[in-house]
Structure 1
Amino acid sequence: MIPIVGVPAPVYPPTVDWAAPISPGRVEDLLEAACSRFADHVACWSERGAVTYADLASKADRICGGLQGEGLQPGDRVGLMLPNSVAAVAAFFGVLKAGGVVVNFNPLLAIPEITRQARDSGADTLVVLNLAAHLAVAEHLMEEGAIDRCLVADVGEMLGGLRRLIFGWSPFGGRGKIPANDPRYRRLESLGGEPTTTGRDPGDIAVLQYTGGTTGLPKGVVLTHRALHANAVQLARWFTQAEAGADKIVAVLPFFHAFGMTGAMLFGVALGAELVLLPRFDADGLISVMESRRATMLLGVPAMFRALLMRPKLAKADLSSLKVCISGGDPLDPALADAFRAATGVRVLQGYGLTECGPVVTCGSLDVPAKPASAGLPLPGTRLRIVDPSAPEIVMAAGQVGEICVAGPQVMAGYWNAPGETAAVFRDGWLRTGDLGSLDDDGYLFVVDRLKDLVSVHGRHVFPRVVEDAIRAHPSVADAAVIGPTAGAQEGRLAAFVVLRPDGRLTEQELKQFLEGRLAAFERPGHVRFMGALPKTALGKTIKAQLVAMLDENGPAAS
């Protein structure tokens, strides 16, 4: 078995064995192993202080025993709607140890969508912070019959004396009061009891993770213990520069997203690393914490690295402890990676993944040559092939663009309550990702665009991502998104939504002139709309469905 189909054997890091077997395991096994080796090491650092692996395991055990005492049965779904915190990590592992299934809820979603996901998942319990906004969501869900009870963690657990300096006085909004004598509410900290072994199997569901919904209605992705455990082990094997029990990983990507959950939390626990917990992204605060904690790894999205580069504080900070930065979620502009390395001395490696793969599929490495714009090589045990989207039995040759297909231990079991959609994305054991890309002769993956985003302009195919990269090359542009011809776009031309830098000055005509030598005539946008910001998911992905609706409703006029 080889990792790449259709191209020669890849140039793989000499210190990594792609074919080394990955023993099936449960997610909680990662914490138990870390606790047995590094019990006295710091597992989580937050503004409030440090928690060792022994303390973290004890907290998870208390939650596990408490949930079991409350009647949780193996396979029951428990919703977590928590920012990155010790409570979030302990609750995650506590639910799994109790035999439950974690359902991650994004607190930034509108209440109707959270309600839909709660009903769809069948979660009967929700864990939130004692914030007025979070408690209001919980009350709504209970009134609608979407959940039965709420476990409440104290926001004070994550706020210490540095709150003003790092995040401002009230980063999470006001505290809310738990209704007195209401049996539907319990304090998470009050749970306790002796945990019992559940006998859960690696093939059982661990997490129900909803997709971002950037192109359609979010779907529940079924991630088994085996898949998530494998993805964490794959990452630990891939990053040979990591040192078990010594690394410090900045966990600012939200744990309610697959990238933050696996890429930061589970990868960190698999290494016995310190998780430097930040409940939200603040550029200056992040720089301060990386410097003071002597962080060794930072996982982020391109928008985050772009924001850090714009802060004067970055040039003054001592970030010599950083070994590597890893970028995912969106394509990383090579110019952005070069600029970040020039400013900090740290390489930014690009990865590729999707929720359906737990999520990490490929990544760059410090052990092999870098290739600009590449998403790297497949992780150990991961197989790739590129197929013709309209005839998936045809495997494309090196350099040819087609649909990316993945096979490996981290691939999902399917979509929750959606057998038809599950069958549509699997073919002969391969997951069809819906992403377009190519593989070069060395096995490096180059992601081109989403298949759904591919548009036709006067009969010619255009990749919006190519147009977006060309627009971002203008020095006045901070961000851009491009959509295809719609009811609101006249003459069958592309429409571009552009965000300028704070000091940027640019007109529609000037941008069109700038693009004349960079794009073919049919690739150049016919309409440009300047915006203060683009609609984004929690991970920084542009929600193009909102842009399409905006264009259809208001027409193409620039603003």
Structure 2
Amino acid sequence: MSYPEINLARWLEDTAARHPDRAATVYFGARLSYAQLRQHVRALAGALASLGVGRGDRVAIILPNVPQAVIAYYAVLWLGGVVVMTNPLYTPRELLHQLRDADLRVVVALDLLLPRLAQVASDAGIRHVIVTSVADFLPAPLRLLYPLRQAAQARRERRRRGGAHSSGPPPAVRLPEGVTRHDFRSLLHHPPADGPAPVRAREDVALLQYTGGTTGTSKGVVLTHFNLAANCTQIEAWLYKLRGQPTTVLAALPFFHVYGLTTVLNFAVMSGATMVLMPRFEAREAVKLLQRYRPQLFPGVPTMYVAINALPDVERYRLDSLEACISGAAPLPVTVQETFERLTGGRLIEGYGLTEASPVTHSNPIWGRRKAGSIGLPWPDTEARVVDPASGEPLPPGEVGELAVRGPQVMKGYWRRPEETAAVLKDGWLLTGDLARMDEDGYFYIVDRKKDLIIAGGFNIYPREVEDVLYEHPAVKEAAVVGVEDPYRGETVRAYVVLKEGQTATPDQLEAFCRERLAAYKVPRQYVFIDELPKTLVGKVLRRALRESAGSEAQASGATRSTATGRPA
């Protein structure tokens, strides 16, 4: 295929010229057209330039899915700058690491995050904070009500922390000396910038995307304009039946994660689609939006589809507009896929990717042959193979090894980490860290993360295989399996289980169910019933948090064999 070598912001310029009146975003009913979006982007780009932002300069965006996130993203790219998408849920410690590591001076952030930013701004070297509110782009009635709602929440929170006499307005947040605060909406009146700036698409960085840090200190993944443009072009090819049609996308995936950034934001602007923004996913709100705006596309993660399937009255909603749903970031249980397709009539297929590949490398064909439990086929111009983890030599079909990929979407490397880059990039091949196998038809299957592999009594146990069995149990809503220390087996299998509302199950019942479907050494020896699994905001289960919550051996031998619920720390 051919891939455009452009500044990604050129897509916004072109789409606004073709479809000026088409809605780019819908946010609680308020529509922002592509012409208005371009106008705001040019104005904010002009304001950023006046603050010293230029080609190659990093700017952090710490926002949920609100119109301001779209505006800020393209304004930075418009100048040839580098976007650093940052999770709004980060703690001060996590913020400090990322902002300092990215070596930036300008941050665009939500007003609710100012207390955290105030703690780290000086140490991180921040000079300018552009502040916006969730209410800034709400329709007029909701914008008027928002301060009242926030004030009521603040009063409740202060009472909870400080007693009944904690009333009055919250104390104003003061940024450290030397850090200037700017109002986002005011900057939209700045004289517009020319552009978009020319870039060397294969060399110039568009995005510095930090890995989640679930296995250690997060690293900045360096993605070029070409990397991201290539992955969007591949998406368009995979969604060939939607090409040229006015498309609406449910924007439930957060833009600060590369999965949402590529499959929703970049793809929508490239194709002229309308994004229905969800600042925070909630299943009930999602089905209401699906019914009201009739989107054709809904990229998501398994937990989103699980939550929709579990709504007790979901069948009363009209969800039949959906044509394509791509599930990533975590394994998609077959029962979840089948239930969601029955409810919507759309196609839900499993795919695969990682931040280091912009992120998508594989998926099942949406309107072609798919295989249950498979991540599908490599995308156009993407090579994939399974290699021996020790020698690096390719393995034949059917054998389990490490998945390696090569293609136009693969990163340049890790930000200022040459040794770690060299460890995962070999002659253009990216070593993913995932254990996989390929069948005779070229379909790939993720067996598990190398770090999640459980070795019990000398046997290799892959958590996903055990989880798939647990998902088949009629009482199980979600399940996650980890290895915990065992004095005899080295490790043993522990299952964390979330039950469906109104359902019950005992450890003995689950064990009997698993023994009918798994070899004896794979059957979980411990079961913990919890209210919810710990996850990243994009929906990936935090196995490390589950392992850390294992606690003492006494606790494990007590709570794990009961139906008492608990929540991992």
Provide the TM-score with structure 1 as the length reference.
Answer: 0.91
1:481 CA displacement: 1.5
Q: Does the 8 A contact of 2:310 with 2:500 survive in 1?
A: no
The aligned counterpart of 1:499 is: 498
- With over 3 angstroms needed to count, the CA separation of the structure-2 counterparts of 1:163 and 1:369, relative to structure 1, is farther
CA–CA distance in structure 2, aligned partners of residues 171 and 502 of structure 1:
33
- Where do 5+ consecutive residues of structure 2 fail to align? 155-169, 565-569
Report 1:335-414 matches (<5 A): 335-392=335-392, 394-414=393-413
SS at match of 2:402: strand
2:4 counterpart of 1:49: no
Letter in 1 for 2:23: V
2:183 counterpart of 1:187: yes
The aligned counterpart of 1:12 is: none
1:48 CA displacement: 4.8
CA–CA distance in structure 1, aligned partners of residues 394 and 75 of structure 2:
44
CA–CA distance in structure 1, aligned partners of residues 30 and 171 of structure 2:
23
Q: 2:127 aligns with which of 135, 148, 151?
A: 148
Q: Does the 8 A contact of 1:44 with 1:275 survive in 2?
A: yes
**Cα displacement string for residues 326-346 of structure 1 (whole angstroms, at most 9, x for unaligned residues):** 111111111111111112212
The aligned counterpart of 1:65 is: 46
Q: 2:109 aligns with which of 128, 153, 159?
A: 128
**Cα displacement string for residues 291-341 of structure 1 (whole angstroms, at most 9, x for unaligned residues):** 111111111111110100111342111222221211111111111111111
1:181 CA displacement: 12
Q: Percent identity between the aligned chains?
A: 37
Report 1:429-444 matches (<5 A): 429-444=428-443
1:154 CA displacement: 2.9
SS at match of 1:275: strand
- With over 3 angstroms needed to count, the CA separation of the structure-2 counterparts of 1:477 and 1:384, relative to structure 1, is same
The aligned counterpart of 2:164 is: none
- With over 3 angstroms needed to count, the CA separation of the structure-2 counterparts of 1:149 and 1:162, relative to structure 1, is closer
1:399 CA displacement: 2.3
Q: Which shows bigger deviation, 478-487 or 349-358?
A: 478-487
CA–CA distance in structure 1, aligned partners of residues 152 and 298 of structure 2:
23
CA–CA distance in structure 2, aligned partners of residues 380 and 33 of structure 1:
24
CA–CA distance in structure 2, aligned partners of residues 390 and 456 of structure 1:
17
2:89 counterpart of 1:91: no
- With over 3 angstroms needed to count, the CA separation of the structure-2 counterparts of 1:28 and 1:488, relative to structure 1, is farther
- With over 3 angstroms needed to count, the CA separation of the structure-2 counterparts of 1:314 and 1:225, relative to structure 1, is same
Matched positions, count: 536
Q: Does the 8 A contact of 2:387 with 2:403 survive in 1?
A: yes
CA–CA distance in structure 2, aligned partners of residues 163 and 331 of structure 1:
39
CA–CA distance in structure 2, aligned partners of residues 441 and 171 of structure 1:
61
2:138 counterpart of 1:139: no
1:69 CA displacement: 1.1
**Cα displacement string for residues 132-185 of structure 1 (whole angstroms, at most 9, x for unaligned residues):** xx11122112243442221012321343457999xx966996699575998610
Q: Does the 8 A contact of 1:486 with 1:552 survive in 2?
A: no
The aligned counterpart of 2:531 is: 532
SS at match of 1:300: coil
CA–CA distance in structure 2, aligned partners of residues 416 and 50 of structure 1:
37
2:21 counterpart of 1:40: yes
Letter in 1 for 2:534: P
The aligned counterpart of 2:232 is: 232
CA–CA distance in structure 1, aligned partners of residues 504 and 209 of structure 2:
41
CA–CA distance in structure 2, aligned partners of residues 65 and 159 of structure 1:
24
2:244 counterpart of 1:248: no
1:244 CA displacement: 3.1
- With over 3 angstroms needed to count, the CA separation of the structure-2 counterparts of 1:108 and 1:351, relative to structure 1, is same
SS at match of 1:556: helix
**Cα displacement string for residues 347-386 of structure 1 (whole angstroms, at most 9, x for unaligned residues):** 2011110000001111222331221112122221211111
Q: Which shows bigger deviation, 110-119 or 85-94?
A: 110-119
The aligned counterpart of 1:103 is: 84
- Where do 5+ consecutive residues of structure 1 fail to align? 1-19
Q: Does the 8 A contact of 1:455 with 1:461 survive in 2?
A: yes
2:60 counterpart of 1:79: yes
- With over 3 angstroms needed to count, the CA separation of the structure-2 counterparts of 1:488 and 1:102, relative to structure 1, is farther
- With over 3 angstroms needed to count, the CA separation of the structure-2 counterparts of 1:320 and 1:94, relative to structure 1, is same
**Cα displacement string for residues 3-23 of structure 1 (whole angstroms, at most 9, x for unaligned residues):** xxxxxxxxxxxxxxxxx2223
- With over 3 angstroms needed to count, the CA separation of the structure-2 counterparts of 1:176 and 1:90, relative to structure 1, is farther
CA–CA distance in structure 1, aligned partners of residues 489 and 366 of structure 2:
47
Q: Which runs of 4+ in 1 moved over 4 A?
A: 161-165, 168-183, 487-491, 552-555
- With over 3 angstroms needed to count, the CA separation of the structure-2 counterparts of 1:534 and 1:170, relative to structure 1, is farther
CA–CA distance in structure 2, aligned partners of residues 43 and 281 of structure 1:
20
CA–CA distance in structure 2, aligned partners of residues 451 and 172 of structure 1:
47
Letter in 1 for 2:543: K
CA–CA distance in structure 2, aligned partners of residues 171 and 480 of structure 1:
38
RMSD, matched Cα: 2.5
CA–CA distance in structure 1, aligned partners of residues 343 and 429 of structure 2:
41
1:552 CA displacement: 4.2
CA–CA distance in structure 1, aligned partners of residues 385 and 24 of structure 2:
38
**Cα displacement string for residues 445-503 of structure 1 (whole angstroms, at most 9, x for unaligned residues):** 22111111112111111111111211222111121221123279986322222222222
SS at match of 1:342: helix
